[in-house]
Amino acid sequence: MKTIITHSGAFHADDVFAVATLLLVYSDAEVVRSRNEEIINNGDIVVDVGGVYDPKKMRFDHHQPGGAGSRPNGIPYASFGLVWKEYGEQLSGIEEKKIIDSLLASPIDALDNGVDISESIFEGIREFSVRDFLYSYVDNSKSDEGYLSQTFLTVVAVAKDLLQREIIRAREVVGGMKKVQSIVDGMDDKRIVVLDEDLPWGNVLSKIKEPMYVVYPRKEGNWGVRAVRDNINGFDMRKPLPLDWAGKTGESLVESTGIADAVFCHNKRFLIAAKSKEGAIKLAHIALNS
């Protein structure tokens, strides 16, 4: 049984997720929180303390002078990113490792290193972060080490569950993206992509210039037409749905589109739904030619 050492006292998202990751690899490991040098030196795996980054010796700290390196995009590594860098492929897969680093590890590492990755455009408003979620478990009126260590283990269990779910989701995304790419590769006219299952198409189609709309089955039981974006992290569409459809539902939308089973169109013109696949395809063609 291995011993995982991390620092005592206040904890942060990076050491929480680093330990959670390690427990997915070494499920029977013992977690010890300490700043005692002898305990740290005798630990099998040391995370976020100790002043050493050496994956061969299972040391994953980033507080030493010069840190522990940065990603190609400039985001410096913290303990979660260092552990995920070492074990991510083993736990998830090559492409899945990259997805989880971008989605989860990089933002957590950036936060721990004091690096801004987003800018608030509304005064006093910011995004609710993973850190906020984890800290919701902490009673700030208590500061004794026994309470903090027990709460740390509680939060690690939550992070472990979240990480397992993200690994599953990343695998679904990677598999789905391969399906979408295969479908698009087999199309002569790529302007309207028709999918027979709800697949993660955004990343794939944003890199192909031709697609304007995607037709797909919605979880609500009807069929959707979505406008494709050049940047999946933005909201600019290549060709928004017709202005006359915006915000309409029922008979009003049927009258505007001429499609009998049209259901609703989002006011922002990125989504319209129909009861049938055929109706959705017709709507996509009307929008394309508008």
pLDDT band at 234, cuts 50/70/90?
A: confident
**Confidence check: pLDDT of 228 > 80:** yes
Shared domain for 121 and 167, answered yes or no, is yes
pLDDT of residue 233: 76
Question: How large a percentage of the chain has pLDDT more than 70?
Answer: 100
pLDDT of residue 124: 87
Q: What CA–CA distance (Å, rounded) separates 271 from 253?
A: 13
pLDDT band at 250, cuts 50/70/90?
A: very high
Shared domain for 72 and 210, answered yes or no, is no
Shared domain for 213 and 77, answered yes or no, is no
Q: What CA–CA distance (Å, rounded) separates 271 from 4?
A: 48
Shared domain for 162 and 20, answered yes or no, is yes
Q: Which two tokens stand for residue 50?
A: 């100790």
68 in a domain, yes or no?
yes
Domain boundary at 171, 205, 237, which? 171
Average pLDDT over residues 52-74: 97
Domains: count for the chain: 2
pLDDT of residue 119: 82
| 96: exposed, middle or buried (Cβ count in 10 Å: 0-12, 13-18, 19+) | buried
CA distances from 25 to 63, 83, 163, 189 (A): 24, 11, 12, 46
Average pLDDT over residues 237-249: 96
Domain boundary at 171, 201, 230, which? 171
Shared domain for 21 and 142, answered yes or no, is yes
Shared domain for 158 and 37, answered yes or no, is yes
pLDDT of residue 118: 84
Average pLDDT over residues 154-169: 97
Average pLDDT over residues 55-59: 97
182 in a domain, yes or no?
no
Averaged confidence pLDDT in the chain: 95
Q: What CA–CA distance (Å, rounded) separates 89 from 156?
A: 20
Shared domain for 110 and 7, answered yes or no, is yes
Name the residue range of residue 225's domain: 187-288
Shared domain for 82 and 161, answered yes or no, is yes
177 in a domain, yes or no?
no
pLDDT of residue 117: 87
181 in a domain, yes or no?
no
Shared domain for 202 and 227, answered yes or no, is yes
Do 190 and 210 touch, CB atoms closer than 8 A? yes
Which residues are within 8 A (CB) of 73 and not within 5 positions of it... i.e. 6 or more apart? 106
161 in a domain, yes or no?
yes
Shared domain for 106 and 15, answered yes or no, is yes
The pLDDT tens digits of the residues spanning 99-108 come to 999 999 999 9
The pLDDT tens digits of the residues spanning 132-153 come to 888 899 998 888 899 999 999 9
178 in a domain, yes or no?
no
**Confidence check: pLDDT of 123 > 90:** no
48 in a domain, yes or no?
yes
pLDDT of residue 109: 97
Residue, of 231 and 112, whose pLDDT is higher = 112
The pLDDT tens digits of the residues spanning 167-218 come to 999 999 999 999 999 999 999 999 999 999 999 999 899 999 999 999 999 9
Domain boundary at 142, 171, 200, which? 171
Q: What CA–CA distance (Å, rounded) separates 176 from 99?
A: 13
pLDDT band at 235, cuts 50/70/90?
A: confident
Shared domain for 219 and 164, answered yes or no, is no
pLDDT of residue 134: 87
Shared domain for 150 and 196, answered yes or no, is no
The pLDDT tens digits of the residues spanning 257-284 come to 999 999 999 999 999 999 999 999 999 9
